[in-house]
Amino acid sequence: MQKGVKYIYCIAKTALERNFGPIGIGGRGDEVSTVGCGDLSMVVSDTAETRYAVSRDNVLAHERVVEEAMKEFTVLPVRFCTIAPSAGKIQNLLDTRQREFNGLLKDMDYKVELSVKAVWKNTDAVFEEILKESGEIRGLKEKLQNDSGRKNTEARIALGRMVEQELESKKDREAEAVLAVLKKAAVDYRVNRPYGDRMFLSAAFLVNRGREKEFDNLMEDLGKMHEDRVKFLYVGNIPPYNFSSITIHPEEWEV
C-alpha cells in the first residue's frame, strides 16, 4: 500500500494539531493524530492495511480512539474501516463537506449518547404472564392436555406461533413503557432491534450533558420499579454512533 495512507476514526471540531499516542488500529503502535482544514479535523493514523476484519479487537480499537478524542472535542464517528489515500485528500474532503460537518457537530455539541438495554430476568415467568393475559392461549393449552394424535401436533404448532406473536407484542408494550419514561430527558432516541427472547429493548438516547443526572435518576427509578423482573444494562457517555455516524464513499477521494 502506498505511503501516507490514513485510517480515519472520527471528525473533530478543532483546528488544533493533536497527538493521542500510539493507539492506532492494527496493533502496530501507530500514532493517532489530527489532520485539519480550517476549524475541522479528522482523527487518523497511518495504516498498512486496505481492509480490517470486523473483529472484536479491531472494532474496540476503533471505538477506543473515538472515545479518547471525545474527551476533548465534539466528534462525529466515521464508519469502521474508512481509509483515505493521503492527508491532502482528507483536507480536500473536509473543505468540500465543511458545511455538512459543521452542522452535524453543532447538533452534537454538549450532547452524549446513552445506551439502554432491558432484559427479562426470568423467561419462564414471562411465559406464565402470557398464559394469564391471553385466554385464547390458555384455552388452547388446556385443550392440548386432553387431546392426542395428528390434530394435537397441528395444535401445538399453532400454539407455538400464538405464544411467539404474543411474546413480540409483550416486548413492544414493555419497550414503549420504558421509552415513555426515558425520552422525557432526551433530545432524540433510536430503537435498535433487540436480540434473544429475554431482551425487549435496545435503545440509544441523545442527551444534553446538563440533563445526564436527570436521565440517571430516571434509570434508577426504573430499576427499582422493575427490580424483580427486569435487568437494565445502562452505558453512558459514548460517542453518538446512532445519531451522526459519517460514511465516506471511496469515490469522494477521487475529487
Q: What is the pLDDT of residue 110?
A: 93
C-alpha cell at 138: 390458555
Does the pLDDT at position 158 exceed 80? no
Mean pLDDT of 20-44: 95
Mean pLDDT of 85-92: 95
Give the separation between CA 205 and CA 211, rounded to whole angstroms: 12
Q: State percent of the chain over pLDDT 90.
A: 73
Does the pLDDT at position 34 exceed 80? yes
pLDDT digits (tens, 9 = 90+) for 123-140: 888 888 877 776 566 665
Mean pLDDT of 25-34: 94
C-alpha cell at 166: 404474543
Does the pLDDT at position 122 exceed 80? yes
Does the pLDDT at position 45 exceed 90? yes
Alpha helices in the chain (DSSP H): 56-70, 87-96, 98-108, 123-133, 135-144, 150-182, 212-225, 241-244
Q: What is the pLDDT of residue 4?
A: 82
All residues at 6 or more sequence positions from 143 whose CB lies less than 8 Å from its CB, including other chains = 155
Cβ atoms of residues 75 and 113 within 8 Å: no
All residues at 6 or more sequence positions from 16 whose CB lies less than 8 Å from its CB, including other chains = 34, 36, 41
Give the separation between CA 59 and CA 102, rounded to whole angstroms: 26
C-alpha cell at 56: 472484536
Q: How many CB atoms lie within 10 A of CB 198?
A: 16
Mean pLDDT of 73-87: 95
- Collapsed DSSP state (helix, strand, coil) of residue 203: strand
Alpha helices in 85-211 (DSSP H): 87-96, 98-108, 123-133, 135-144, 150-182
All residues at 6 or more sequence positions from 115 whose CB lies less than 8 Å from its CB, including other chains = 203, 204, 205, 233, 234, 235, 236, 238
The pLDDT confidence band at residue 213, using thresholds 50, 70 and 90, is very high
List the single range of 45-59, 118-132, 230-244 with lowest mean pLDDT. 118-132
Closest to 201 (Cα-Cα) out of 236, 176, 220:
176
Give the separation between CA 204 and CA 191, rounded to whole angstroms: 7
Measured between alpha carbons, how far is residue 110 from residues 13, 71, 141, 198, 207 in Å? 12, 12, 54, 34, 9
The pLDDT confidence band at residue 163, using thresholds 50, 70 and 90, is confident
Query: Average model confidence (pLDDT) for the chain?
Result: 90
Q: What is the pLDDT of residue 99?
A: 96
